[in-house]
Structure 1
Amino acid sequence: MLFLALVFTLFSGRAFSQETADNKVIITGVRFAYPLVEKWIKDYTAANPKAQIVIETRTITDPQKYDLLIEAYEQEKAVKDSREYISVGRYALLPVANSKSNFAKEYADKGLTEKTYKQIFFHDIYAEKDKSLPQDYTIYTRLQKAGAPLTFAKYFGYEQQQIKGKAIAGADEHLIKALLKDETGISYTTPGLAYDLQTRKPLDGITIIPVDLDGNGRVSKEEKSLGDLDQVLTSLEAEKIKNVPIEYVHFSIDKHNSNPEAKKFLLWVAANAEKDLRQFGYLKPDAKRLEQEKEKLERFAAVK
């Protein structure tokens, strides 16, 4: 009897260990998306209590082992060819300033056109100079290669290393922390970091700088209406918006990853993500692109 009990314990332990391994999913990637991903994990595990889905925080590099990667910029072709993608939503990048700064006091009313945007934020020896621009501001940008600075620079025709200012190690939220400590600080960030997601108002101490959304060379009264996050998101989802970099946030899985729970979770996200996007400051994805990627993902998930 003792022998049988030991055998049962051994095999039941192995079965539990195997079930745990099969049901565990490790996610890593862009940190500003973690609050949204955490909401998805909470909802998914409520319906699938055996699943163990965890976020392993990205530092300078990604963890050695992970199942799903959430990223905020388009990867190189060689990387894209090795993974299956689902474009879950889009994020925008807005110019922001410390509310006590002279920059905020002047540009909250004046706003930024494409010309002033480029002169303020980028090193460009060929750019036309406007000598009336203030000089008493400090730009904060990311040190490491990352989605937000790559997207920000690319939109205006530059490389990340051409962004002016103090390069800060860490994540996008560290730019906000640095800006709040510096009364000359300005930067660029996502709506989810610039606004309080509960009140839908700009974070205390931060001024969102208006931009020339229609490209007519001036900033209108309507373009200065930045006090409500939902109103801003509605404006940004309109067609032909200018001077606001917008890029996809996407989940991906290695084409050789056979973790069934990772595939199941990814399909669930593809079907359920849209209802949470606005709450966390994201824009809806292109419906046609999302449907095409869903179909590819379903075929991939069906392969054992």
Structure 2
Amino acid sequence: MKSIKTLLVATGLAFSIGHNSFSQTTNQNEVVITGVRFAYPLLEKWIAEYKAANPQALIRIETRTVTDPQKYDLLIEAYEQEKEVRETREYISIARYALLPIANAKSAFAKEYAEKGLVEKNYKQIFFHDIYAEKDKSLTTPYTIYTRLQKAGAPVTFAKYFGYEQKDIKGKAIAGADEHLIKALLKDETGITYTIPGLAFNLQTRKPAEGIAVIPVDLDGNGRVSREEKSLEDLDKLIAGLENEKVKNVPVEYIHLSIDKHNSNQEAKKFLLWVAANSGKDLHQFGYLNPDAKRLQDETEKLERFAATK
């Protein structure tokens, strides 16, 4: 009798684990999303609009507390995953984000580099552990770098663009999200970091956020920072320039929404298709760049075929 009871318990446990492998609830209209936090405001707007048109939908963002991605229906990702991971998921590349160097507006660093800007050599010398750059002793202005402690999209993208890994970024490693780097910088008059336009700028006024100086960079790669490149007072002009020019010294990467290929949550698939069709109108407002149209179209067609399956 004991062995039969043990078998029943084990079988029930196995069923429970399998049944919850892609969502924390059994409600077919519920969709649980997690991932990069700086994209939450944009996703929250889309969720509100989708739910207004689909009142039965129960979509929520949950701050990630477990490492297993299969506990969630959709992931928001800010860098390219390894090939083995990409092959198990369907993706929608909904937007691109840029990374800008910023400083505490009261800092001597902001005053100096708001005037002369940064070229590639400066980036490597200031932000990265590089034995050749560190031999250059010309930098005398005090600064304190703040960077992410955990592996995340922004530091991975920032380091990779300049030929490094996240572990090569200098500075004080801060636990938490990208917003915590901003808070640390604002408390330290020597503080500098890198961040997305949506955090560097006030999204209502379209001007740099209070207390933050956006540092100009050599956008055309000619080794100097021009007067036009120093003009960083308007978020919309900045976005237009980043989209229309082949810029240098500004890391740019995609924001992806993804779903496991074995996930049968039809509401999650519907939401992804809705985002693919409706997301473009909000990207600039939140400081993002448009994705490549052909890439988005190809991924949407793949997702439509996936959504047709049960």
Name the structure 2 match of 1:16: none
Judge which range, 207-216 or 135-144, deviates more: 135-144
Check 1:121–1:221 CA distance in 2 against 1; reply closer, same or farther (3 A cut).
Answer: same
Are 1:84 and 2:83 counterparts? no
Matches within 5 A, 1:46-85: 46-59=52-65, 61=67, 65-85=71-91
Amino acid of the residue matched to residue 97 of structure 1? Answer: A
**In structure 2, C-alpha distance between the alignment counterparts of 1:62 and 1:35, rounded to whole Å:** 23
**In structure 1, C-alpha distance between the alignment counterparts of 2:287 and 2:82, rounded to whole Å:** 27
**Offset, 1:291:** 0.6
Name the structure 1 match of 2:198: 192
Name the structure 1 match of 2:110: 104
Name the structure 2 match of 1:296: 302
Name the structure 1 match of 2:20: none
Structure-1-length-normalised TM-score: 0.92
Matches within 5 A, 1:6-17: none
Aligned length: 286
**In structure 1, C-alpha distance between the alignment counterparts of 2:205 and 2:136, rounded to whole Å:** 37
Question: Per-residue CA shift, 1:33-58, capped at 9, x if unaligned?
Answer: 00000000010000001100000012
**Offset, 1:238:** 1.9
Name the structure 1 match of 2:156: 150
* Structure 1 residue matching 2:146: 3-state secondary structure: strand
Are 1:42 and 2:48 counterparts? yes
Name the structure 2 match of 1:159: 165
Q: Contact 2:70 / 2:260 at 8 angstroms: preserved in 1?
A: no
Matches within 5 A, 1:131-142: 131-142=137-148
**In structure 2, C-alpha distance between the alignment counterparts of 1:226 and 1:140, rounded to whole Å:** 22
Aligned with residue 219 of structure 1, among 207, 211, 225: 225
Q: Contact 1:20 / 1:52 at 8 angstroms: preserved in 2?
A: no
**Offset, 1:63:** 7.0
Q: Contact 2:69 / 2:75 at 8 angstroms: preserved in 1?
A: no
Runs of 4+ in 1 over 2 A off after TM superposition: 58-64, 126-132
CA RMSD of aligned residues (A): 1.4
**Offset, 1:282:** 0.2
* Structure 1 residue matching 2:273: 3-state secondary structure: helix
Are 1:172 and 2:178 counterparts? yes
**In structure 2, C-alpha distance between the alignment counterparts of 1:69 and 1:276, rounded to whole Å:** 19
**Offset, 1:165:** 0.2
**In structure 1, C-alpha distance between the alignment counterparts of 2:226 and 2:132, rounded to whole Å:** 28
Are 1:285 and 2:291 counterparts? yes
Aligned with residue 234 of structure 1, among 225, 240, 246: 240
**In structure 1, C-alpha distance between the alignment counterparts of 2:281 and 2:268, rounded to whole Å:** 21
* Structure 2 residue matching 1:91: 3-state secondary structure: strand
Alignment gaps of 5+ in structure 2: 1-24
Aligned with residue 258 of structure 1, among 261, 264, 268: 264
Check 1:71–1:257 CA distance in 2 against 1; reply closer, same or farther (3 A cut).
Answer: same
**In structure 1, C-alpha distance between the alignment counterparts of 2:169 and 2:66, rounded to whole Å:** 20
Name the structure 2 match of 1:3: none
* Structure 2 residue matching 1:69: 3-state secondary structure: strand
**Offset, 1:130:** 3.6
**Offset, 1:20:** 7.4
Percent identical = 79
Structure-2-length-normalised TM-score: 0.90
**Offset, 1:133:** 1.4
Are 1:114 and 2:90 counterparts? no
**In structure 1, C-alpha distance between the alignment counterparts of 2:303 and 2:96, rounded to whole Å:** 19
**In structure 2, C-alpha distance between the alignment counterparts of 1:64 and 1:134, rounded to whole Å:** 49
**In structure 1, C-alpha distance between the alignment counterparts of 2:250 and 2:192, rounded to whole Å:** 16
Q: Contact 1:140 / 1:175 at 8 angstroms: preserved in 2?
A: yes
